[in-house]
Chains A and B, each alone.
Chain A
């Protein structure tokens, strides 16, 4: 269950109904929150809001400021005097930002597909199929989750060189193609399904494939969505690994491209700002649409994973 869902039902506790309906805002005990306390809460919330979202807005504002506008003024000007998209055009002129975005999209898309397919299959195998070494296999996945990526990145790099996949997008995708954590997430989801249904299907003559595709998989769609979203976000945001694998600017993903933009044109903050907005906007849009799954992923991944 998502965290938001967990917290929300509190409002509907029977206690609230026992009290005569009161005006104003009530807390989870059905008691009324004092006005000054409420004001203090909103004040704090707005303060934190300014801290967390403010930097993004400042970046957006910088990216919209025209070339003649002073972006270093003190006291600072929060709103652009004459907003223009000029900087975005200039980013595209300086670096092939749309190609980078396409590369990122390819990597993230491939990562979503491999992770969903791979972790669903492996998770189902770990949860339901009986074969020798199943326990060991589960343990291997748990151990793999503990090995820090940073500790093996050099060996992965040399492996990629030996496979001749250095400096290719396939090389970027491969090491993350099936995350151990995702496999365990899927395993737990499959374990949570009642076994009786599958037994019934088994009696009706369904083989393992049919049980997997027709019965088990449709029931874990929620967890699969979580895996997909986190695979997408992880690949889109990743920095260290693409930085190591990719050396040819035409293969750069957005994150590496941004770092390149920053290194080469550090003096023009408007450009860098426009670039970062291009990189972050799709994810914020995705997050806004699917926040339920984001929160769910954190809850399930961290606590049960």
Chain B
């Protein structure tokens, strides 16, 4: 444990101040790596894409699974089947999921042939820089839905039914009851989901890697931070020092994100 998490963590921080490469031990270079980061266009592209990913994915993953959980909460016949079916994307490997969607969104794939059949015409989901990023986000949301749905289901089971009954006696409609009873009751779970999904979204790798290719789509414009870490730091010529500096940035931002979400929660309490 300590060997595989804490030691690498400490050595990452140390390496980030050196010019170490895979085969060359390297020397202490102070903040040179971080200074280079500031002038590295690829770094800013990665940071932009990872940040956009958080902004796009998190709201969807906080709201949609909650609605889905409400939909499958009532015990109507066959509901267990639906719950399990909605969880299937979570079970599948991200590689499988990525490849399935690459095929679906292919220029000649199912989605485009459907779009063509209804007269909209083809959309280049995987060739346009922004559409590609958006498609990858959609895949992340699609894969995460079931997981967060289960978390919300557990939370919804603890909402006292009396609250709903009282609200409907008072004449509150479904939407009002959702906003005034359900949302406040599961708010702490929503914060948890926001924290989990924002950290996961910032570290996105596989979806974009699979859909945009190892080089990050057209002109590398869809590269994310972790993709950059993987690309610069591994292989025989990998720049371990520079990649470690990138890793430190990833780490700092994820911790900051978590703190930010938790802080936003406390403010709402006050």
Which A residues form the contact surface with B (CB < 8 A)? 3-4, 6-8, 10-11, 25, 27-29, 33, 38, 41-42, 44-45, 48-49, 51-53, 55-56, 58-59, 62, 72-76, 122, 140-141, 143-144, 146-148, 150-159, 161, 174-175, 177-178, 180, 183, 233, 236-237, 239-240, 243-244, 254-255, 258-259, 262, 269, 272-273, 275-276, 279-280, 283-284, 286-288, 291, 294-295, 298-299, 302-303
Query: B140 at the A/B interface (Cβ < 8 Å)?
Result: no
**Given contacts A76-B110, A298-B147, are A49 and B86 in contact (CB under 8 A)?**
yes
The 6 closest A-B pairs by CB, nearest first: A155-B8, A74-B113, A237-B93, A151-B251, A154-B233, A152-B8
- In the complex, 23 of the A-B residue pairs with CB atoms within 8 angstroms, ordered by the A residue number, are A4-B83, A7-B153, A27-B74, A27-B75, A45-B72, A53-B88, A76-B114, A144-B1, A146-B255, A150-B226, A152-B8, A152-B12, A183-B1, A239-B93, A240-B206, A240-B226, A243-B230, A255-B94, A258-B96, A283-B91, A298-B151, A303-B154, A303-B155
**Given contacts A148-B251, A156-B4, are A7 and B73 in contact (CB under 8 A)?**
yes
Please give me the residue from chain A that is nearest to B107 by CB atom. A72
Contact flags B182-199 to A (C-beta < 8 A → 1, else 0): 000000010010001001
Residue of B84, B96, B206, B240 contacting most chain A CB atoms (<10 Å): B96
Which of B68, B114, B254 interacts with A151 by CB under 8 Å?
Answer: B254
* Chain B residues in 8 Å Cβ range of A62: 103
Query: B42 at the A/B interface (Cβ < 8 Å)?
Result: no
* Chain A residues in 8 Å Cβ range of B230: 153, 240, 243-244
Closest Cβ–Cβ distance, residue B149 to chain A (whole Å): 9
* Chain B residues in 8 Å Cβ range of A299: 150-151, 154
* Chain A residues in 8 Å Cβ range of B250: 148, 150-151
Inter-chain contact A151/B248, CB cutoff 8 Å: yes
Q: In the assembly, what is the distance between CA of A262 and CA of B212, in Å?
A: 12
**Given contacts A28-B161, A159-B7, are A56 and B74 in contact (CB under 8 A)?**
no
**Given contacts A59-B103, A159-B8, A299-B150, are A287 and B71 in contact (CB under 8 A)?**
no
Q: In the assembly, what is the distance between CA of A10 and CA of B93, in Å?
A: 34
Inter-chain contact A258/B95, CB cutoff 8 Å: yes
Inter-chain contact A237/B151, CB cutoff 8 Å: no
Inter-chain contact B88/A10, CB cutoff 8 Å: no
* Chain A residues in 8 Å Cβ range of B161: 28-29
Q: In the assembly, what is the distance between CA of A63 and CA of B116, in Å?
A: 23
Inter-chain contact B1/A38, CB cutoff 8 Å: no
| Count of CB-CB pairs between chains A and B under 8 Å | 243
Closest Cβ–Cβ distance, residue B45 to chain A (whole Å): 17
Please give me the residue from chain A that is nearest to B165 by CB atom. A29
Inter-chain contact A44/B151, CB cutoff 8 Å: no
**Given contacts A33-B76, A151-B248, A155-B244, are A233 and B89 in contact (CB under 8 A)?**
no
Please give me the residue from chain A that is nearest to B242 by CB atom. A154
Q: In the assembly, what is the distance between CA of A75 and CA of B73, in Å?
A: 36
* Chain B residues in 8 Å Cβ range of A59: 100, 103
Q: In the assembly, what is the distance between CA of A105 and CA of B112, in Å?
A: 36
Inter-chain contact A73/B74, CB cutoff 8 Å: no
* Chain A residues in 8 Å Cβ range of B46: none
Query: B237 at the A/B interface (Cβ < 8 Å)?
Result: no
Query: B180 at the A/B interface (Cβ < 8 Å)?
Result: no
Q: In the assembly, what is the distance between CA of A225 and CA of B258, in Å?
A: 30
Q: In the assembly, what is the distance between CA of A48 and CA of B161, in Å?
A: 26
